[in-house]
Structures are given as C-alpha cells and as structure tokens.
Amino acid sequence: MLIPVLMAGGSGTRLWPLSRRLFPKQFLPLNGRQTMLQITLERLEGLELAPSITICNEEHRFIVAEQLRQIGELGKIILEPIGKNTAPAVALSALVATEKGDDPTLLVLAADHVIQNEAEFQCAIVEGQKAVEQGRLVTFGVVPQSPHTGYGYIKQGQALGERAFSVDSFVEKPDATTAQGYVDSKQYLWNSGMFMFKASRYLEVLEQFNPQILSSCRAAINELESDLDFIRVDPQEFEKCIDQSIDYAVMEPLCAENNNSVAVVPLDAGWNDVGSWASLYDIATKDEQGNCFKGDVVSHNTENTYIHADSRLVTTLGIRDLVIVDTPDALLVSSVEASQDVKDVVNKLKNKARSEATVHREVYRPWGKYDSIDNGKRYQVKRITVKPGAKLSVQMHHHRAEHWIVVSGCAKVTNGDKTFLLTENQSTYIPIGEIHALENPGKVPLELIEIQSGGYLGEDDIVRFEDIYGRAEKKLIKE
C-alpha cells in the first residue's frame, strides 16, 4: 500500500505578488489549469495508491479541502498548529497511517514542485519501492542541469539495483566553484526533498536518532480530534517538538552510521521547485522572442520577458529580461536576475504592516470567496460569491452595518427574526448589532454586492453564533 504524503504548508513568498502567506504558490495554477497541489496528486495516476495524507496549517485548511474535493481525492488532512519542519510533520503522518496496525509505504512529496516527465517520475517511484521493501529509506536525487548553489547535494555510493544507489553523503549548499565540481564529477545529485519509506521504518529510525520528536508527536495525536474533514493534533504537545527536517533528523545520521540503509534514486524528469520567478520563466513555453505571456498582454519590441496579467491589459515597449506580475492590488516589475530577491520586498511590506504581504484582494472562504473592490474611510464594497448549498455563519457586528444587493442567483437571508429569499436586483439592510446569516439554496453560484459602513471594518469584527464549518465562537440563545 503506497500513501502519498503531501507537504502543503509553505508560505511561497518568493513568488509574490501572486503567492502570499494566506494563499501561497501550492494552491495556484502556475504551470497549467490545475493547482500545484492538484497536479502533485494527478501525476501519480496509474500507480496503486491508498488515499493521500495532506499536511497543512490551520489557515489553509479549507483551501486544501476544496482543491482536493475538486479532483475527487480528499484523503486525510492533518492540521499543524505550528510549523515544525518536515521531520515532525512526516512523523504525524506515519503515526496516523499506522494507527490501525497497517504498515504502508509513505511517498513524501512537496505540493509545489514541477515534474515535466511524469512517466519517468513514476518509473523512479517503482524503483524506489524495491529499495523500500529491502528496509531502506529512499530519497530522490535530481540529475543536476547546472551548478546550482541554492540546493543541497547527495553523493551517490555503490549501486544497489538497476537504478538505485546507496547514499555516500549529504552535503550542504555549495559555493559556485564547488557546485561546478559536483556537476563535473557526475557523482552528485540535487537533493529534491522527496522521500519514500515504510511508515514503521521511519518511526524506528526517528526513535533511534531523535526520540524527543517522536514522543512529542505521539503525545500530540494521543487523542486525535476530528473536525469535518480535518485531523487536529494537541497544540501544546506538538509545540514541544524540535524544529528539524527529515534530512537532519533521520537521513543524515542513518547514512553516517550505515549508508547502505539509505538509498537514492536518480531522477531526470524535468524537476523544478519553482523557487523564484526566474525558475518559473525557465520552464515556461516561450515565443520566438523568448517571451512568456499569461493573460491580456500586448507587447512591442519585447524580449526574454515573463508577464503575468491577472486582471487587466498589460502593454510593453522596448524592454527585455524582465519579470512583470500584475494583480488587482499589487504590481511587480523586476529584472529576471533580481527576481529571486522578491522576499526582501515582502519583508519591507510586512514591516509596514501592509496587507498586500499576506492576503490577496480576493479572499477564499469555505463557503466561497469575496473580492474587496473598493474602500474608503468609513465604507468598504465587496463582491461576494457563495457556492450552491453553502452558508455563511450566523453572526453579528459591533461596528458596521451592511447592505446586500443580489446580482445573480438566489439568497436565503436571515435578518434579525425574519428569514426570506432575495433574487436578482433585490436587497436588504442589516443594522449594526443585528444577528444575520446568508445562504445559497440554489443550484448556481450566488453573486451579491455587500456595502459595509461604520467606524471599524476589520474582518475581526465578526461574532459567530452558529457555523457549519466549525468556526462558531458563541452560542445563540433563542427564546
């Protein structure tokens, strides 16, 4: 039994402004119509798989659940109360996978990588399974295409089979000269951060080298809580975990003790971790001028340029070697070479408490989404989309009134002690302090405009009484 374990907890700031903390790159369709998370599972199609395990943080839980539902693969979703790196995250997965006495093979994958040759990737997985059945922990090493200084490297040892090798050593990110030597030797591979092993074997080795991580994870899932589609762990116990990667906690110490216990399968399948706009440009399909345009773009005399136009026309004249990313609330213009430093801009935005560092203008919720299309000193206008059958929480606000105008679809509205239906061009006014709720009872999406007015319009001015998504804070007392 092979269980894909998807690591989906990253923040993706290197692809800002498209990727932001509350909606990072693994949930975006960067290299096709499907999101990176969805593609990670889809490329495994044809292999014999058990339902997946996805690990993400609290803030992304509804995004993950919705995207997995869209491809018919929900599996189990483990919520990390705090990020503690990959070793504890995989320990939680292994403990959940073995809770009924099973001992599956875990295929640990990042949810934000590109692999262009899926057939070759599946062949590598099949080869890795052979080494796993021999009790080995397996990693996948990417055949280097350049002397990259941003990756760790794996030195191959002796052959263990047709395609697998023992790991001689793991080495840190090198300088340019050392990296060139690694590539020239043809003995080194990029460390991809993808792994495969029996769940019990991983737990055994973790207990040998880092028993504190394992004991904290065991305590954290001692009394698992299920919340809708999610598995919650004890935050106090998980907080005690050491922050450590699989490489440091398990693979490297086991390799140092006995390198025949750790195997590497070379992978030459068009792998890319999409760690910057430059890397995304590298794998993109380009025109005769070396350009890659996404969205509404008109250019003249433009060469070797990546343009992403999210919501409006972008035009260029006489430029080259640039990255231009336009979103509804932020515009990035950078040279391709400097685009890897976009995190420095994000840090400046964070220091200024700018919302653009963390959240998009369009925000996703379990019931649908909203787009903040205009705002002023005492007002805010949102375009709200509610999915068929979905319902917002029963709530009230201390500081704002709201006016709802239905654009399309049908709305079931609770406004105080009245419940009624609104259709296209109908509206309702909700005074400050009035308990209210909104539901889409129809078969098509509900679109409405919400006009907020008041002295404070923050999202934290919501008191929830009832919520089908488990977010209620107070009980509603009905006479």
In the chain the domains, ranked by start, together with CATH numbers, are 2-272 (3.90.550.10), 277-351 (no CATH), 362-466 (2.60.120.10)
Residue 476 has pLDDT above 60, yes or no: no
pLDDT reported for residue 478 = 44
Residue holding tokens 């800002």?
16
Per the document, the length of the chain is 479
pLDDT reported for residue 33 = 84
Phi then psi for 294, rounded to 5 degrees? -125, 125
Report residue 479's pLDDT band, with 50, 70 and 90 as the boundaries. Answer: very low
Please state which of the ranges 29-38, 285-294, 383-392 shows the lowest mean pLDDT.
Answer: 29-38
pLDDT reported for residue 475 = 52
For the chain, the distance separating the N- and C-terminal CA atoms, rounded to the nearest angstrom, is: 54
* Token reading at 46: 């044809």
Kindly state the percentage of the chain with pLDDT values over 90: 82
* Token reading at 207: 């207990």
Please state which of the ranges 11-25, 276-290, 464-478 shows the lowest mean pLDDT.
Answer: 464-478
What span, in angstroms and rounded, lies between the C-alpha atoms of 351 and 70? 37
pLDDT reported for residue 338 = 94
Report residue 12's pLDDT band, with 50, 70 and 90 as the boundaries. Answer: confident
pLDDT reported for residue 95 = 96
Nearest Cα residue to 342 out of 271, 281, 278: 278
pLDDT reported for residue 229 = 74
What span, in angstroms and rounded, lies between the C-alpha atoms of 421 and 439? 9
Mean pLDDT of the chain: 93
* Token reading at 375: 């705002």
Residue 176 has pLDDT above 90, yes or no: yes
Residues 35/51, Cβ–Cβ less than 8 Å? no
Please state the pTM of the whole predicted model: 0.89
* Token reading at 164: 């697998």
pLDDT reported for residue 100 = 87
What average pLDDT does range 167-190 have in this prediction? 94
Cβ partners under 8 Å of residue 452, min gap 6: 379, 380, 381, 382, 400, 401, 402
Please state which of the ranges 60-74, 288-302, 391-405 shows the lowest mean pLDDT.
Answer: 60-74
Residue 350 has pLDDT above 60, yes or no: yes
Give the C-alpha distances (Å, rounded to integers) separating 111 from 266, 454, 458. Answer: 20, 41, 32
Residues 115/136, Cβ–Cβ less than 8 Å? no
Residue type, 325: V
Largest CA distance in the chain: 79
pLDDT reported for residue 470 = 79
* Token reading at 410: 């049908």
What's the distance, CA 415 to chain centroid?
Answer: 37
What span, in angstroms and rounded, lies between the C-alpha atoms of 31 and 43? 13
Name the 3-class secondary structure at 179. helix
* Token reading at 141: 């090493």
